[in-house]
Amino acid sequence: MKKITKKIVFIPLAVIFIIIAFVILMNSVILPWYVEAPEFRVPNLIGKSKTEAVKILVSLKLNPIIEGPKYDENVPKDHVIYCRPHANTLVKEGRRIYLYISGGEPLVKMPTLVGKTLRDAKITVERNGLIIGEIEKVRSEFAAGTVIEQTPEANENIAKGSVVDMKVSVGPKIGMIRVPNLIGKSLRKGERLLRNNSLFIRKVNYQISPNLLPNTIFDQLPSEGRLVNVGDSIDVWVTKSKVE
């Protein structure tokens, strides 16, 4: 019982002692330091370069914190666009001063031009405040007048007024043809379709299939839509009945 009584008495006394010590520390050390710490008025930093603004704050023993970028075409890039606390605010030594830095003109996301007609691509470029640059015409498997390459690439963040270059298809070279779709057709119909397009079957690969009728084409190489020379041959994979 005596030990329990001593603990009951000791714990409250210890708590009281800690509280008293904390109060003395606040009154004699922390509060006097805070009250007596030098005060400064925040200088007007709006429009100054980031480097200059930081130097000024450090010289006043204030703590610059860089934030941003915030985009504003009226404030040059890497210059202070906003400051918190505001200019002329009284602050203590060591106070954090937040500097919001301009990123210059607002950025725009580069639109997707590949696959568009040249006319549509030009309209898209101009609507986004961009400038049409070099347009190179190249042969490709895409239809004539289709954009097949762009610089900068789609979804890249760029400044307004940036130049956009494009490569535009003039279509395939003379003597080329697109491979028709043979899948699902019978071998006989596939051969006829190829002949009508001046193409031929080179190799027939047979494979057992429980789901398709015999002599049904289920794969081809080159695939549908690929450009090949007139007179080229196509490989096909064809079903056959299960061997008894």
Average pLDDT of span 38-65: 93
Q: 135: helix, coil or strand?
A: strand
State the pLDDT at residue 244: 47
Q: What is the pLDDT of residues 164-212, one digit of tens each?
A: 999 999 887 778 888 999 999 999 999 999 998 889 999 999 999 888 8
pLDDT digits (tens, 9 = 90+) for 2-43: 455 555 555 665 666 677 666 565 555 555 544 556 888 999
Q: How far is CA 132 from CA 70, 135, 136, in A?
A: 27, 8, 12
DSSP-derived 3-state class of residue 156: coil
What residue has token string 């009250």?
35
Cα atoms in the 13 Å half-sphere on the side-chain side of 56: 17
Structure token digits, residue 35 = 């009250």
Peptide bond before residue 38 is cis, with ω within 30 degrees of 0: no
